[in-house]
Amino acid sequence: MSKKTLLLILITLAIAAAVFIFLDIKLYQQTNSKTTSSIRRQTPNPSAKTPSPSPLASSPPASNLKSIPFESLDKQYFSGQDQKTNLQITNQQDWQTLWQTINSFQSPMPQLPHVDFSKEMVIAAFAGQFPNGGHSIEITQLKANDQIIQVSILTTSPGRKCGTTTAITQPYHLIKTALSQKKIEYLETTTVDNCQ
């Protein structure tokens, strides 16, 4: 092989190597550019504000509740209403029906307590039926704010050391207070009388 031919082959190889290196660098730059662009798109903008969650509607704070007056109408241990329930009465017809139910076992029936439903309402608390005495229920307090009336109810049961009758009882308590359209919430508490 002549020197001229050998030189021509070396020049051709050098040119091919240079082209290969150039193309490899170009490809690397393009790939790196795409990766950088992708990273930039995914990087959060530090000046962007994360939206704050909407605050939940809060219930009226208990500190806003103020005591309101009420009058006890009847509180007994025997009743024709044997289911545990709390009721709000705002008209004369419902009041008469409830009174008849309560006193359905009595004859003659006690006189219906007077309530002026144009400005008053009745709240009734029934403890349910028990196989013995010693049980009681009492509406102890009324509190209100601009949205609600909170009725506190205390239910008492006899402890093991208490001597009780074997009579079936259905304790209840009836009160009246100023008429209101506010929502009524019942706060019930139970306790045991240990008779000590």
pLDDT at 163: 85
Closest CA to 128 of 164, 167, 165, 78: 78
If one counts every other C-beta atom within 10 angstroms of the C-beta of residue 157, the result is 16
Work out the burial of residue 41: count CB atoms within 10 Å of its CB; fewer than 13 is exposed, 13-18 middle, 19 or more buried.
Answer: exposed
Work out the burial of residue 135: count CB atoms within 10 Å of its CB; fewer than 13 is exposed, 13-18 middle, 19 or more buried.
Answer: buried
Cα separation of 175 and 126, whole Å? 12
pTM of this prediction? Answer: 0.68
Please give the full DSSP string across 48-81, using - where no structure is assigned.
SPPPPPPPPPPPPPGGG-EE---EEEEEES--S-
pLDDT at 148: 96
67, 112 contact by CB (below 8 A): no
pLDDT at 50: 40
| pLDDT tens digits, 21-70 | 655 555 545 544 444 343 344 444 444 444 444 443 444 455 589 999 99
Cα separation of 110 and 65, whole Å? 36
Q: What average pLDDT is seen over the chain? A: 81
